[in-house]
Amino acid sequence: MTTPLADSPAAALGQEVAAARAEASPAWLAARRRIAWDAYEAIPMPSSQRDEDWRRTDISALHPERFTPIEGVDTAVVDAMRAQRDSAAPKAAFAIDSPVATPIEGADTLHAQGIIVTSLEEAAMVHPELVQRALAAVRVDESKFIALWNAMWRGGVFVYVPQGVEALVPVWIAHPAGGDDRAVFPSTVVVLDEGSSLTVIDAYASPVGLAALFSDAMVILAAGRDARLDYNTVQQWGEGVWHVAVQRTVLDANAKLRFMGVTLGARLQKVWWEVILDGVGSEADVLGICFGDGTQHFDHQSLQAHVGAETRSNLLLKVAVRDRARSVYGGMIDVAPTAVHADGYVANRNLLLSQGAKADSIPRLEIRANDVKCGHGATAGHIDSDQRFYLMARGVPPEEASSLIVRGFMDDVLDRVPHRGFAELAGALLDAEIAGGSGAGVAAEAG
C-alpha cells in the first residue's frame, strides 16, 4: 500500500514541514518556499462571507493544518490509474507524481526525441532555468492555496518538449492519493518550446470512499510560439476529498491549446481553468464536463485572458447534477486593450437531474479593447420531457431514455475531444456515474 519514507516522520501541515521542504530544495526554490509559507500564514482562509470569489463555495469545514502530507503512493490506486492509461492511451508514457522518486514508465520514445519527462523536484535541480520560467506564470502569494502549494509541493511531474519536436506519444500523468487525513500537492508543469507539440493526460484519483483528503494542486502549461498542446484532465477523487486547483496555461504567438477537463469526484472542488492568450494569434478551445451526485459541490472558475491581438478562445462547460449536488460556475473573458480583433466565447450548460440539485452560472465579459467579438451563454434546465417521450415511443424504458439524454448532453462535448481514447474513458466513467455508480474515486483492490 503506502510506501513510507523511513527518515521522514509524519507531521501535519505547518511550519516544521514547510521548513523541511525548503531545506531539501535548491537555494532558489528554498527562497521561494520560505516566501510562500510566510504568505500562506499571512493570508486568511477564504470565506464565503467575506470573499466574493468564494460566496457560493463554503470551505469553513476545511482545516489544512489537520492534514498530514503523504509520504508515499497508494500502489493500488496507481495500478487502477495505470489500467486506465492501458485502455485509453496504451503507448503513453506513465509518470507518477510521488514524494518518493519513481521512474517514468514507457518514456523511451520521448527521451529518444530529446523530450524531458521527469519529476518536478528533479527538474528544479537539473533544469532550474526551465522550471523558473514556467513557475513565473504564477505569483507565489497570489492566494492562500497557491502560497501553500508553493511551500509544500514535492515530487510533481515536469515535461519539456524542445523546439520543433512533435512528441510521438502522449504523457499520462497520475496524481494518486490514499489514506485518511492526508494532504497532497499535485503538480504538473509542462513547457513546450517553439513549434513543438504534445498530448498530456493529467489524472487525479484516490480510492472510492469517504476518506478525508486535501488536494492543493497546480498545473502550469506554457506553450511557445507555434506550439500545440492537447491537455486532458480527469478529476476522480473519492467523495471525502477537498480539491483546490489552479490550472493555468500561457500561450505564446500562434500557440494552440486544446483543453478537456472531466470533473467527477471530490466532496468539494474549486478549480480555476485559466488561459492567458499572450501571443498574437494564439488560440484556445477549452471543453469540460462535470457529473455530480450525492452532496458533491463543484466550483469551476474559468478565465480566458486575451492579451495578444487576433487571439481566439472558446469555452464550453457542461454540468449534470443529481440528488443534492451543486455546481457553481464563474467564467470570465478578459480582453486587454492590446487584444484587438479578439474573438472569445464562454458557455456553461447545466442539466439538473433532481429537484434538489442546483447550478449557478455567472459568465462575465470584461472588454477593454475595440473591435472584438465576444459572447457568453448560460443555461440550466431539467431533462426535456419531449425528448424522453420520443425515446420511449421507440420502446426505450424511461430510465434508459434519461440516461441516453444525459449521455447525449455530454457527448456533444466528448465528440469534440481530439484524443479519442481519453474521450472514451471519460464516456465510460460517465456511464458508470449515470448508472448510479460513482465516478468519484477509483476502485482500487485493497492490498
Partner 1 sequence: MTQAVLSISGLHAAVEGKEILKGVDLEVKQGEIHALMGPNGSGKSTLAYTLMGHPKYVVTGGSATFGGTDLLPLTADARARLGLFLCFQYPTAIPGVSTVNFLRAALRAQGKEMPAREFLNRLSTEMKELKIDESFRSRYINDGFSGGEKKRMEILQLAMLRPKLAILDETDSGLDVDALRTVADGVMRLCGPDMGVLVITHYPRILEHLHPDRVHVLHDGRVVTSGGADLARQIEREGYEPILGTAAAATA
Interacting residues with partner 1 (CB under 8 A)? 384-387, 389-398, 400-401, 404-405, 407-412, 415
Is the Cα torsion angle 383, 389, 393, 397 positive or negative in sign? positive
Give the position of cell 462547460: 317
C-alpha cell at 74: 497508494
SS3 label, residue 293: coil
* Residues pairing with 203 in the sheet: 174, 234
Q: Write out the DSSP string of 266-288.
A: -SEEEEEEEEEE-STT-EEEEEE
Between 49 and 355, CB nearer to partner 1: 355
Nearest of 443, 441, 408, 439 to residue 426 by alpha carbon: 439
Which distant-in-sequence residues (6+ apart) come within 8 Å of 263 by Cβ? 235, 269, 271, 288, 289, 290, 291, 292, 298, 300
Between 27 and 393, CB nearer to partner 1: 393
Closest separation between CB of residue 381 and partner 1, Å? Answer: 13
Closest separation between CB of residue 434 and partner 1, Å? Answer: 13
Give the position of cell 466532496: 267
Closest separation between CB of residue 391 and partner 1, Å? Answer: 7
Which distant-in-sequence residues (6+ apart) come within 8 Å of 403 by Cβ? 431, 434, 435
Between 112 and 393, CB nearer to partner 1: 393
CA distance 187 to 414: 25
The answer to whether 262 and 289 are in contact (CB under 8 A) is: yes
> DSSP label at 77?
H
Closest separation between CB of residue 292 and partner 1, Å? Answer: 19
Between 219 and 401, CB nearer to partner 1: 401
Closest separation between CB of residue 404 and partner 1, Å? Answer: 6
* Residues pairing with 229 in the sheet: 198, 257
Closest separation between CB of residue 383 and partner 1, Å? Answer: 11
Between 291 and 409, CB nearer to partner 1: 409
Between 148 and 352, CB nearer to partner 1: 352
Between 343 and 411, CB nearer to partner 1: 411
Closest separation between CB of residue 90 and partner 1, Å? Answer: 23
